[in-house]
């Protein structure tokens, strides 16, 4: 039970940062922050949530990533469904907290009418929606590419046969990857990258007054940020396995052993000089 509460908590914390920033920027009409504020807040949310629960649950924030970790043998299959449910519930709770926190601002901005369309819409604070020019296929491709890029970049961070990141720096590196993706790939449809990130808050808007329009709008768009990130994650994982992991040597490579040999020789020479002895010549 503690494990799944941890998963729920870390997703909730991530949502608090990202959705609160979106609410602040939108309801203030960009007088208290801009788009960059939202991007940075999501990255800080990812980093904070990872540090918060990495030691308990591995900081699983994304059902698509959890699925790929099961395929790679890094997570037990029996944990996948409870993890996914916890992630969606955590996203719902985080969205509910943001709704309560910014309730008055949302009502003032929207005139008390909660809608998905128009200049006073507020549903995009919580869930992702496509821009008007974007066809369904284009949005699907957008999410596949974005989530595939995420998996392609983060899977290498702990690979000892390549160039692994220091364990204490994995959280900010992942946050940096997320920041780069949402800064460069969010114009089309918000860069959900995460089925729970979108579905949990969308369910909140359904129950909080926006109605069924949150699921029927934009030609039933809601399924795209659920299905496309999963396909993108599987695609990114496949590309990583085929072109990176399976091409690496069987054993971790030593980093320039000749450097360590030179260093040892220098230390030996210094020690001999200190003793008043003549150091032997070293040939490289």
In angstroms, the CA 113 to CA 124 distance is 14
pLDDT at residue 262, as a whole number: 42
pLDDT at residue 275, as a whole number: 58
pLDDT at residue 59, as a whole number: 92
pLDDT at residue 277, as a whole number: 56
CA trace torsion 156, 157, 158, 163 (10° rounding): 80
In angstroms, the CA 250 to CA 229 distance is 31
pLDDT at residue 283, as a whole number: 40
- Each residue's pLDDT, cut to its tens digit, for the chain (284 residues) gives 788 999 999 999 999 999 999 999 999 999 999 999 999 999 999 999 999 999 999 999 999 999 999 999 999 999 999 999 999 999 999 999 999 999 999 999 999 999 999 999 999 999 999 999 999 999 999 999 999 999 999 999 999 999 899 999 999 999 999 999 999 999 999 999 999 999 999 999 999 999 999 999 999 999 999 999 999 999 999 999 999 999 999 876 554 444 344 445 445 554 555 555 544 443 43
3-state secondary structure 120-189: CCCHHHCCCCCCCCCCHHHHHHHHHHHHHHHHHHHHHHHCCCCCCCCHHHHHHHHHHHHHHHHHHCCCCC
Q: How far apart are the first and last CA of the chain?
A: 59
For the entire predicted model, the pTM comes to 0.87
Its CATH class, for the domain covering 1-247, is: mainly alpha
């Amino acid at each position: 039970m503690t494990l799944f509460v941890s998963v729920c908590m870390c997703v909730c914390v991530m949502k608090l940062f990202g959705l609160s920033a979106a609410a602040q920027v939108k309801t203030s009409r960009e007088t208290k922050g801009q788009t960059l504020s939202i991007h940075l807040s999501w990255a800080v949310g990812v980093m904070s949530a990872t540090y918060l629960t990495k030691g308990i649950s591995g900081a699983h924030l994304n059902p698509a990533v959890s699925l790929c970790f099961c395929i790679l043998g890094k997570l037990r299959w029996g944990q996948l469904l409870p993890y996914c449910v916890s992630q969606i519930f955590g996203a719902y709770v985080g969205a509910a907290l943001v709704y309560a926190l910014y309730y008055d601002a949302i009502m003032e901005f929207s005139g008390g009418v909660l809608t998905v369309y128009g200049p006073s819409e507020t549903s995009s604070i919580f869930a992702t929606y496509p821009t008007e020019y974007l066809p369904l296929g284009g949005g699907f491709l957008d999410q596949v590419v974005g989530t595939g890029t995420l998996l392609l970049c983060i899977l290498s961070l702990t690979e000892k046969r390549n160039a692994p990141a220091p364990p204490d720096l994995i959280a900010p590196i992942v946050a940096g990857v997320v920041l780069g993706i949402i800064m460069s790939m969010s114009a089309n449809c918000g860069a959900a990258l995460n089925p729970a990130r979108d579905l949990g808050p969308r369910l909140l808007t359904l129950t909080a007054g926006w109605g069924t329009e949150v699921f029927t709008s934009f030609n039933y768009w809601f399924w795209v940020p659920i299905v496309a990130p999963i396909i993108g994650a599987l695609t990114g994982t496949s590309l990583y396995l085929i072109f990176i992991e399976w091409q690496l040597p069987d054993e971790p490579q030593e980093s320039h052993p000749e450097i360590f040999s030179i260093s040892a020789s220098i230390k030996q020479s210094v020690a001999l000089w200190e003793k008043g002895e003549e150091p032997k010549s070293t040939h490289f």
